A and B are shown apart, each in its own frame.
Chain A
Amino acid sequence: EAGVAQSPRYKIIEKRQSVAFWCNPISGHATLYWYQQILGQGPKLLIQFQNNGVVDDSQLPKDRFSAERLKGVDSTLKIQPAKLEDSAVYLCASSRSLDNEQFFGPGTRLTVL
């Protein structure tokens, strides 16, 4: 069974630029999560999808971050415009349903200069 795929693995941009990350969850997993992991900290949930609907986006900075999961499968997280403090690893995870184990992708390391 293939794991959670993320791309790109690394991205370097300048502040005020835009960036997008892509995630393809494990086949059949209905729930998809995006986390932000700042260096030296634990992952923080940004947004949680159940199929193509948003379950929780209370910690997503909606003035600059957006995410979608249009067909209930893969997902895109966008930052527009980026700030220096957005430098972090963005992790995608998926699970069969809300109560099941989450499986994590390798992450995208974003550096904002």
Chain B
Amino acid sequence: AQSVTQLGSHVSVSEGALVLLRCNYSSSVPPYLFWYVQYPNQGLQLLLKYTTGATLVKGINGFEAEFKKSETSFHLTKPSAHMSDAAEYFCAVSEYQKLVFGQGTRLTINP
């Protein structure tokens, strides 16, 4: 069965600094991988997804993620953090049309 591990339940960075949120997955088949963002009292919004093809995926709000099969990783990055990026971020893997989520990483931006 597939699973997702997000390293660090809470990440804090300064405004303008690099954002790096880590995600490792396990899957018995070539995975589809996703990053979602959740703002307080809201549902999840898709940031980006990897299905096939180019391993570097660009998403909304300046985020990108790189699929590394050898490391079974799909880390999320953004070169320069903005205050509006403060939220909960979830990595997910899809296998047989089912999404399995990691436990989430809360991102805090310090002014």
Contact = CB atoms under 8 A, between A and B. Distances in A.
Contacts of A25: none
Nearest to A43: B101
Contact of A44 (B42, B45, B49, B101): B101
Nearest to B88: A42
B43 A42 contact: no
B77 interface: no
B109 to A, nearest CB: 20
A105 B4 CA distance: 23
Contacts of A33: 99
Contact of B97 (A40, A55, A101): A55
Given A42-B101, A99-B97, A91 B46 contact: no
A98 interface: yes
Given A56-B98, A98-B97, A42 B42 contact: no
19 contacts: A4-B43, A40-B103, A40-B104, A41-B103, A41-B104, A42-B4, A42-B101, A42-B102, A42-B103, A43-B99, A44-B101, A48-B97, A56-B98, A91-B43, A99-B97, A102-B99, A105-B43, A106-B41, A109-B41
Interface size of B as a range: 20 to 34
B45 A104 contact: yes
Interface string B44-68: 1110010000000000000000000
Interface in A68-113: 91, 93, 98-99, 101-107, 109
Contacts of A107: 41-43
A45 interface: yes
Interface in A1-44: 4, 33, 40-44
A105 B44 CA distance: 8
Contacts of A45: 98-100
A33 B45 CA distance: 15
A89 to B, nearest CB: 9
Contacts of A102: 46, 99
